[in-house]
Amino acid sequence: MKPKLAVNIGGINMKNPVTTASGTFGFGPEYASYIDLNRLGAIVVKGTTLKPRQGNPTPRIVETPAGILNAIGLQNPGVDYFIEKALPYLSNFDLPVIVNISGDTVADYAKLAAKLEQVEGVAGLEVNISCPNVKKGGLQFGSDPESAAEVVRAVKGSTNLPTIVKLSPNVTSIVKVAEKSAEAGADALSLINTLLGMAIDVKRCRPVLGNVMGGLSGPAVRPVAVRAVWQVYKEVELPIIGMGGIVTAEDALEFILAGASAVAVGTANFINPRATMEVLDGIEDYLIQYGYNDIKEIVGAAHRR
């Protein structure tokens, strides 16, 4: 008998626990020739803002040992484009669409939430309060528990859509931000976003990235991300989407055993566009191999050993 893979993330029904990390999977079509999008548990789309954004000056990506630094700066065509052009394409597939939203102000988040509420085909919101690459908003909200709560309250006051709050590792206590987000009404949590980092070009004697600093992602951050999931799972009773350096099924299983109910594949998509499918197949193989009937049996299991 095949093991049960379905999970519920704060009201979003996913047929399996594998989704995409925002900003690494576009709006979907970019990957449709590599994988069957219908097989994803959900898609989390590229970060969306009220107005189109140009993003930061180039260069915006640097390779580092076991990861990349990016300073894209939330380049995107704006929420109206998303609704008119990207969402109709995704409605051809049988998968929940989770929209990652960012704002310069608390009011921006509320407006985005209200706008997306009106549209058919949006299963939930992922509220990005953790982007290290923008001057206004972003990390400013995610690094202070009270500000995070303010954003969550504004979003929850503007929509009935399930609301997932995406947390930053660039804080003293990720648990405090998670607790305040939960009190403010978050339905689920995503963790983690990128770690603030930088690289210097020694020949040119200056920072490599046009924006000087960027966000570190990929396998380099995985131990930090697993630790964050472990800590938050212990203290906060909300479903967690775990991410940060997942390349293989074994990586994803670390997150699930630490307490994540679902996992997102990010940077790995750039190296292997089939990574999500390999992670999904590998999780299923693991459950069969170890005799589990349901993915839920192993969520947080490492805490019980």
Ligand X SMILES: Cc1cc2nc3c(=O)[nH]c(=O)nc-3n(C[C@H](O)[C@H](O)[C@H](O)COP(=O)(O)O)c2cc1C
| Per annotation, catalytic residue among 86, 131, 139, 167 | 131
Q: Cβ(181)–Cβ(189) under 8 Å?
A: yes
Task: Please state, as a whole number, how many other Cβ atoms lie within 10 Å of the Cβ of residue 22.
Answer: 27
Q: Is residue 46 within the footprint of ligand X (CB under 6 A)?
A: yes
And the tokens for 183? 């009190």
CA distance 278 to 247: 9
Q: Please list the alpha-helical segments (H only) found in 35-170.
A: 79-81, 87-90, 106-117, 139-142, 145-156
And the tokens for 292? 């589990």
Specify the residue for token string 């069969």.
288
Q: How far is the CB of 21 from ligand X (least distance, A)?
A: 3
Among residues 14, 62, 72, 113, which is the contact residue for ligand X, using CB under 6 A? 72
205 is catalytic: no
Residue nearest to ligand X (CB): 23
Among residues 9, 12, 14, 21, which is the contact residue for ligand X, using CB under 6 A? 21
And the tokens for 130? 């953790």
Q: Is residue 73 within the footprint of ligand X (CB under 6 A)?
A: no
Among residues 56, 100, 159, 261, which is the contact residue for ligand X, using CB under 6 A? 100
Please, which residue, 60 or 156, has the CB nearer to ligand X?
Answer: 60
Please, which residue, 3 or 245, has the CB nearer to ligand X?
Answer: 245
CA distance 52 to 46: 12
Q: Is residue 244 within the footprint of ligand X (CB under 6 A)?
A: yes
| Binding interface with ligand X (CB under 6 A) | 21-24, 46-47, 68, 70, 72, 74, 100, 128, 131, 166, 193-194, 217-218, 221, 243-246, 266-268
